[in-house]
């Protein structure tokens, strides 16, 4: 169960999307990305989840190896979905931005299957560092949870 929790916790940590130039709109951009991400994840569309990442994006799972690149990230999320993790929710609690960078501190819930097959709800926190990109996608570099 610890492995499943670490996997699910790490899975929520890092993803990327475009940010607008204005710092005050960073929260709106991030919240829109969170909605897009959770909709794609909860519908099982790992291709759409992967497309939210840049080629050089990274996931930094606690107690796990760093996952690099869009393809690796897509496979990571695909593994979470195949493991039965569902009903993801994400909420930005704090967003600050300056220039081309912003960070988001957030909270998540995720349904995780137990040994008996029933779903239990896991809750946790995450942090994302967002970097504005000129290609319409943001690059994301992050840390493990808070």
| Residue 47 or 136, more confident | 47
Question: Cα angle at 145 between 98 and 122, to 5 degrees?
Answer: 125
Higher pLDDT, 19 or 77: 77
Helix, strand or coil, per DSSP, at residue 100: coil
pLDDT of residue 116: 86
Q: How does 43-62 read in b/e, with b if 16+ C-beta sit within 10 Å?
A: eeebebbbebbbeebbbbbe
Q: Which has the closest alpha carbon to 63: 13, 105, 135? A: 13
Using pLDDT thresholds of 50, 70 and 90, give the confidence band for residue 141.
Answer: very low
Residue 114's SS3 state is: coil
Q: Which pLDDT score is estimated for 135?
A: 58
Give pLDDT tens digits for 81-123: 999 999 999 999 999 988 778 899 999 999 999 988 899 999 9
pLDDT classification of 6: cutoffs 50, 70, 90: very low
pLDDT tens-digit readout, 47-89: 999 888 878 888 888 778 999 998 998 999 999 999 999 999 9
Query: Which token pair is 36?
Result: 């897009």
34 CB-near residues (< 8 Å, 6+ apart): 90, 91, 92, 106
């Amino acid at each position: 169960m610890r492995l499943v929790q670490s996997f699910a916790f790490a899975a929520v940590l890092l993803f990327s999307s475009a940010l607008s130039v204005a710092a005050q709109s960073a929260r709106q951009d991030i919240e829109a990305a969170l909605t897009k991400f959770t909709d794609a994840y909860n519908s099982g569309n790992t291709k759409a989840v992967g497309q939210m990442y840049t080629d050089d994006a990274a996931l930094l799972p606690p107690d796990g190896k760093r996952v690099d690149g869009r393809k690796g990230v897509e496979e990571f999320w695909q593994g979470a979905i195949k493991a039965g993790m569902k009903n993801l929710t994400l909420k930005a609690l704090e967003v600050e931005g300056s220039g081309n960078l912003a960070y988001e501190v957030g909270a998540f819930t995720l349904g995780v299957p137990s040994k008996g097959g029933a779903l239990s709800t896991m809750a946790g926190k995450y942090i994302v560092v967002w970097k504005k990109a000129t290609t319409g996608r943001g690059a994301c570099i992050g840390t493990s949870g808070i």
